[in-house]
Amino acid sequence: MRAEAMRTLPDVVRMRAATHPDELAVIVDGGEAVTYAELDKRSNAVARGLIERGVRKGDRIGLRFDNLNWIDCSVAYFGVQKTGGIAVHLRSEGAVEDVNYRLDHSQASGVICLPELAPIGFSGWISSLDELENGHRQEPFKSSVVPDDICHILYTSGTTGPPKAIACSHGNASYPCRYYYSHPPDPEFNDIEHPVAIVTIGLETAGTLIMLHPFLMLPGTLPRRSIIMREFDPERFCALIEEHRAHFTDLIPTMAQQVLLSGAYERYDVSSLRRIFLGSLRTPPALLPRLQAAFPQALLTIRYGTNEASLPGIRVTYDPARPFPSGLLGRPVGIADSQGCVVGREEVRISDDNGLEAPPNQEGEIWLRCVGFPRRWYFRDPKRTAQVFLEDGWIRTGDLGFVNENGNLYLLDRSEDNIRRGTQGFSSLEVEDVLYEHPAVAEAAVFSVPDDVLGEEVAAAIVLRTPATAEELQRFARERLFAYKVPRKIFFFDHLPRNASGKVLKRLLRKQVPRA
């Protein structure tokens, strides 16, 4: 099958099964694995089981598995895709209210899940994977889906409010597969014949549906074998790098902090690691030199994007020889076809309050546009879709930043997390970066709290690695920041409240800290 023919996810999994049938598609830490041929055949059987149960094109089907059942989730996912159904990710550890919200909002007709994870109070059908798969033929299944059909609905992490439902089409999800399939190898990694990745994101992260499952189908420069961690543990993470001689991995900054604090990288041979992708959260600059020292052979690449804007197409690689500016996200990266022509790329602009493009170094809202990619939209929410997904292809991120004269994008803050103390407005992330420079600070979150005089006052939630006082941290910040940016209120926590993606829930912190 030619790359141009991979217009839907069923196309992609069939192609991988035809070209690399015996290659392992997924390896779960602990020994469980599945080949591309097995994944294709088993999902064929599941598709027939779903059709027998009455599933029709466009039906929404919930998937609820835990991190011990990555392979079953993958089989169920592609089985749903082959019927023309729409997969809806349900968190295994989510509260009953969260699961029911997703089922109700998506109008799901059924759920495939582990028996112990069956949703409570759901009126549709519920089935285990075994019930759908057993007794059904594994021969090729003819799918009727087309690129414009929805393949899955992604519910965002809900960092700032209720989760938003992002609809993704087959054409959007398969787009990277079509063009990476014949993409020339990255010259930096020409000497790697069979790339291996350690995957740290879990099934609690809804982005798994839109990123990892389709990407498991990609040949070429991306990993040919993915080792899935059941749960993130820094000791096991470093052991897996040594055991599999892994070349690539993905970490959110909080995971990187755990690895450094554990010292596990000193107890294992991690020299095979060639690139660490840092994403999902903003990376504090103070973390980068420590991480580079722990993994000296690895390139540290920071990626930025949003679930709404498809791929994290803006990136920068850390250079240990140069200071890393606070907030630097890098430049857009294009995707080239087999002839080297750029056919898909992220574009960025800074928009002022009137929606006009701001000049270099002027702050505003970050807008992204992914040229060549079929767009996403908010499911059953045309009003919000019109507000965020603009007609000319631009997508509003809600993040504040600026682009300098060299075309580099800098992130300042989420618009709702930007602090205004009296007449002064500034980024909470700028203050966090300074606090992270203190050797006693393991984690920091800066946010505003109400103030009767100034409107907002600066507060910080801190997790310590070694003892320190609030006065010591304030003195440290005062030496590096304007006085109005120094946290007046510092609260110490054993851990910070986070969502499944690892993002700090500042709206919960505001409720947890005393107002006086």
264-319 pLDDT, tens digit per residue, is 999 999 999 999 988 766 788 989 999 999 999 999 999 887 878 766 678 899 99
**Position 424: which residue type?**
Q
Question: What pLDDT score does 186 carry?
Answer: 60
Over residues 34-38, mean pLDDT = 90
Question: What pLDDT score does 271 carry?
Answer: 95
Sheet holding 377-378, edge to edge: 125-127, 110-113, 60-64, 86-89, 150-155, 165-169, 377-378
Distance CA 288, CA 315 (A): 15
Over residues 228-254, mean pLDDT = 89
Kindly report the three-state secondary structure assignment for every residue of 443-479.
Answer: EEEEEEEEECCCEEEEEEEEEECCCCCHHHHHHHHHC
Of 35-39, 54-58, 158-162, minimum mean pLDDT range: 158-162
Distance CA 177, CA 181 (A): 6
Contact 431, 460 (CB under 8 A): yes
User: pTM of this prediction?
Assistant: 0.82
Distance CA 282, CA 275 (A): 18
Question: What pLDDT score does 191 carry?
Answer: 64
Indicate if the pLDDT at residue 160 is higher than 80.
no
Question: What pLDDT score does 254 carry?
Answer: 84
Distance CA 98, CA 266 (A): 40
Distance CA 448, CA 354 (A): 26
Over residues 430-454, mean pLDDT = 88
Highest mean pLDDT among 103-107, 173-177, 302-306, 495-499: 103-107
Distance CA 62, CA 119 (A): 10
Of 95-109, 197-211, 333-347, 348-362, minimum mean pLDDT range: 333-347
Of residues 105 and 353, the one with the higher pLDDT is: 105
Tell me the two tokens of residue 73. Answer: 């989730």
Over residues 175-189, mean pLDDT = 61
Question: What pLDDT score does 272 carry?
Answer: 93
Cα torsion through 208, 96, 417, 392, rounded to 10: 50
Q: What are phi and psi of 512, to 5 degrees?
A: -85, -25
Question: What pLDDT score does 223 carry?
Answer: 45
Over residues 83-88, mean pLDDT = 95
Question: What pLDDT score does 355 carry?
Answer: 85
Question: What pLDDT score does 515 carry?
Answer: 62
Distance CA 54, CA 332 (A): 44
Of residues 20 and 181, the one with the higher pLDDT is: 20
Indicate if the pLDDT at residue 29 is higher than 90.
no
User: DSSP labels for 171-183?
Assistant: HHHHHHHHHHTTP
3-class secondary structure, 105: helix
Distance CA 474, CA 440 (A): 13
Indicate if the pLDDT at residue 359 is higher than 70.
yes
Pick the closest to residue 92 from 124, 71, 72, 118 (CA basis): 118
Question: What pLDDT score does 140 carry?
Answer: 93
**Alpha-carbon radius of gyration of the chain:** 23
| Residue 335: pLDDT band with limits 50, 70, 90 | very low
DSSP bridge pairs for 226:
197
Strands (E), 105-195: 110-113, 125-127, 150-155, 165-169
Distance CA 178, CA 503 (A): 31
Indicate if the pLDDT at residue 338 is higher than 70.
no
Distance CA 278, CA 303 (A): 6
Question: What pLDDT score does 126 carry?
Answer: 96
Percentage of residues of the chain with pLDDT beyond 90: 44
Contact 230, 281 (CB under 8 A): no
Distance CA 251, CA 231 (A): 13
Question: What pLDDT score does 514 carry?
Answer: 75
pLDDT in tens, 366-424: 999 887 778 889 999 999 999 999 888 899 988 889 999 988 899 887 777 778 887 77
Q: What average pLDDT does the chain have?
A: 84
Burial call 357-368: b when 16+ CB within 10 Å, e when fewer: ebeeeebbbbbb
Kindly report the three-state secondary structure assignment for every residue of 242-287.
Answer: HHHCCCEEEECHHHHHHHHHHCHHHCCCCCCCCEEEECCCCCCCCH
Of residues 262 and 333, the one with the higher pLDDT is: 262
Indicate if the pLDDT at residue 217 is higher than 60.
no
Of 105-119, 179-193, 430-444, 471-485, minimum mean pLDDT range: 179-193
| Residue 343: pLDDT band with limits 50, 70, 90 | very low
Indicate if the pLDDT at residue 212 is higher than 60.
no
Pick the closest to residue 336 from 187, 179, 177 (CA basis): 179
Question: What pLDDT score does 173 carry?
Answer: 83
| Distance, first Cα to last Cα, the chain | 66
Q: What are phi and psi of 101, to 5 degrees?
A: -60, -45
Q: Residues with Cβ < 8 Å from 236, sequence gap 6 or more?
A: 29, 229
Question: What pLDDT score does 211 carry?
Answer: 47
Question: What pLDDT score does 353 carry?
Answer: 84
Of 203-212, 253-262, 382-391, minimum mean pLDDT range: 203-212
Q: What are phi and psi of 39, to 5 degrees?
A: -60, -40
Pick the closest to residue 196 from 177, 176, 221 (CA basis): 221
Tell me the two tokens of residue 56. Answer: 């029709």
Tell me the two tokens of residue 288. Answer: 């980068």
Distance CA 81, CA 471 (A): 56
Question: What pLDDT score does 293 carry?
Answer: 96
Tell me the two tokens of residue 476. Answer: 């440290």
DSSP bridge pairs for 460:
446, 490
Pick the closest to residue 400 from 436, 435, 350 (CA basis): 350
Indicate if the pLDDT at residue 101 is higher than 50.
yes
Pick the closest to residue 399 from 387, 413, 417 (CA basis): 413
Indicate if the pLDDT at residue 43 is higher than 90.
yes
Tell me the two tokens of residue 382. Answer: 């045309």
Of residues 206 and 148, the one with the higher pLDDT is: 148
Distance CA 3, CA 444 (A): 45
